[in-house]
Amino acid sequence: MPKTILITGANGEIGHGLVEALSGKPDTRIVALDLRPLDDHLAAKCHATVVGDIGDRDLLGRIASEHEIDTVFHLAALLSTRSERQPLLAHRVNVDGTLNLLELAIAEARSEGKDVRFLYPSSIAVYGLPYLDAKRNAGKVCEDDHTRPTTMYGINKLYCERLGDYYADHYRQLDQEATKGGVDFRCIRFPGLISAVTVPSGGTSDYGAEMLHAAAKGESYACFVRPDTRIPFMAMPDAVRALLMLEAAPKEALTRRAYNIAAFSPSAEEILAMTLRFFPNAKVSYDPHLKRQGIVDTWPEDVDDTAARADWGFHHEFDFERAFADYLIPGLGV
Ligand code: NAD
Ligand code: SER
């Protein structure tokens, strides 16, 4: 029996990488859901595609009745800058939407008497360092420290991690029926992701990818954070590989539900220096945006991913040098 995987937000940046990676696996059926129609080359790799809103519970019910879902990769969300601009919409999509997907997963688990794996991409935005000196002195932040986010997006993500715990643990204990099957919730707190094939929008870590993509197109770019701004980043293939590794990990190996993962933590200035190495004519200026700067100033400079390495063998393949030389620059197709 093939395994059926539901991906929400499948047309987004991670969705692009994930659909590509999963489509290469035998006996895997992808059911893709997004507000926007999937790009044609991605749609061709899916068993079914649905254009719709994760807020539409009737639609989710129809998807569940038509497909026996084994795993959910719930990617659909509004990212951090957009969430600050539209906080009520962000709450509806990021929190109510996640609740709808958890309900779908528990209903599927019960009706089929099996565990449904639920992979949730959280973020370094769940952390909140109160001022710049605290950020600079915090070192590699562990999962249970500094979880006082200040943005709507970070608060949404942290709360949804808790909802995942609730559906995985307490829901099951309270209801005898649920012991026949439950939600196996697993979560990664991603750094800012940089893809060679897609350009981000609506996030606050976007400056890294935007700077590079603008340089590749010969366009000038005004970076919206100060040169000394430092947050963790990761190349998209490592992020997709991490999701698949966590999904495949045996349940008994996992000591927690939400895991940090890390790769490299350059400052904006260091990203520019690396970009100039490959595009010496890149025209980049700095025009810090008060609100967006304020967001990244609360995110950690680096995170501790010891648990992910110990429990499910995570390791990044792309450090800062390799991400540019072996993945981003060749993938930009210039
Ligand atoms: P993205 O913005 O590229 O993709 C999100 C997708 O969700 C889009 O295709 C969008 O159309 C879809 N979507 C939005 N609202 C929807 C709705 N109501 N119903 C159905 N689809 C909807 O984002 P991404 O970079 O691919 O991120 C995917 C997930 O990973 C998100 O949950 C994000 O918070 C998380 N994440 C991303 C990063 C990053 O740097 N890209 C870092 C940490 C966490
Ligand atoms: N990279 C994302 C953003 O900037 C964080 O999850 O919104």
Ligand 2 site residues, Cβ closer than 6 angstroms: 79-80, 123, 125, 153, 192, 203-205
Identify whether the C-beta of residue 115 lies closer than 8 Å to the C-beta of residue 223.
no
Identify whether the C-beta of residue 14 lies closer than 8 Å to the C-beta of residue 193.
yes
Residue 97 lies inside a defined structural domain of this protein: yes
Per-residue confidence (pLDDT) for residue 154, from 0 to 100: 98
Token look-up 């290469």 returns 24
**Rounded distance from Cα 277 to ligand 1 centre (Å):** 30
Helix ranges, the chain (H): 13-23, 40-43, 57-66, 80-85, 87-90, 97-112, 132-137, 152-168, 170-174, 206-216, 236-248, 268-278, 290-296, 306-312, 320-322, 329-332
3-state helix, strand, coil in the chain (%, to 5): 45, 20, 35
Active-site residue 153, yes or no? yes
Residue 165 lies inside a defined structural domain of this protein: yes
Per-residue confidence (pLDDT) for residue 229, from 0 to 100: 98
CB of 94 shorter than 6 A to ligand 1: no
Per-residue confidence (pLDDT) for residue 173, from 0 to 100: 62
Q: Which CATH number fits the domain that encloses residue 109? A: 3.40.50.720
Provide long-range contacts, Cβ within 8 A and 24+ apart, for 85-89.
Answer: 87/152
Closest among 239, 250, 234, 263 to 312, alpha carbons compared? 250
φ, ψ of residue 50 in degrees (nearest 5): -130, 130
Residue 115 lies inside a defined structural domain of this protein: yes
CB of 76 shorter than 6 A to ligand 1: yes
CB of 54 shorter than 6 A to ligand 1: yes
- Residue 40, amino acid: D
Identify whether the C-beta of residue 172 lies closer than 8 Å to the C-beta of residue 178.
yes
Closest among 78, 82, 107 to 95, alpha carbons compared? 78
Going by alpha carbons, the residue nearest to atom 3 of ligand 2 is: 203
Q: Given the CA of residue 122, which atom of ligand 2 is nearest to it?
A: 6
Chunked mean pLDDT (size 10), the chain, 334 residues: 95 98 93 97 97 98 97 98 98 98 95 94 98 97 98 98 92 62 96 97 98 98 98 98 98 98 98 98 98 98 98 98 98 88
CB of 11 shorter than 6 A to ligand 1: yes
Per-residue confidence (pLDDT) for residue 112, from 0 to 100: 87
If one counts the domains in the chain, the total is 1
Q: How far apart are CA 40 and CA 246, in angstroms?
A: 28
Catalytic residue among 120, 127, 131, 153: 153
**Rounded distance from Cα 176 to ligand 1 centre (Å):** 35
- Cα radius of gyration rounded to whole Å, the chain: 19
Identify whether the C-beta of residue 225 lies closer than 8 Å to the C-beta of residue 293.
yes
Question: At what angle are helices 268-278 and 206-216 packed, to 10 degrees?
Answer: 20
Give the pair of three-digit tokens for residue 67: 């497909």
Identify whether the C-beta of residue 290 lies closer than 8 Å to the C-beta of residue 224.
no
Range of 142's domain?
A: 77-193+235-262+302-317
Going by alpha carbons, the residue nearest to atom 1 of ligand 2 is: 192
Per-residue confidence (pLDDT) for residue 318, from 0 to 100: 98
Closest among 162, 51, 40 to 99, alpha carbons compared? 162
Residue 16 lies inside a defined structural domain of this protein: no
CB of 13 shorter than 6 A to ligand 1: yes
Closest among 319, 329, 240, 326 to 279, alpha carbons compared? 329
Give the pair of three-digit tokens for residue 233: 């980043």
Mutation pick for ligand 2 pocket among 80, 291, 298 (CB with most ligand atoms within 8 Å):
80
Residue 47 lies inside a defined structural domain of this protein: no
- Residue 22, amino acid: L
Residue 255 lies inside a defined structural domain of this protein: yes
Strand partners for 112: none
Residue 63 lies inside a defined structural domain of this protein: no
Mutation pick for ligand 1 pocket among 7, 8, 11, 14 (CB with most ligand atoms within 8 Å):
14
Residue 104 lies inside a defined structural domain of this protein: yes
Q: Of all helices (H) and strands (E), which one includes residue 151?
A: none
Mutation pick for ligand 2 pocket among 155, 205, 291 (CB with most ligand atoms within 8 Å):
205
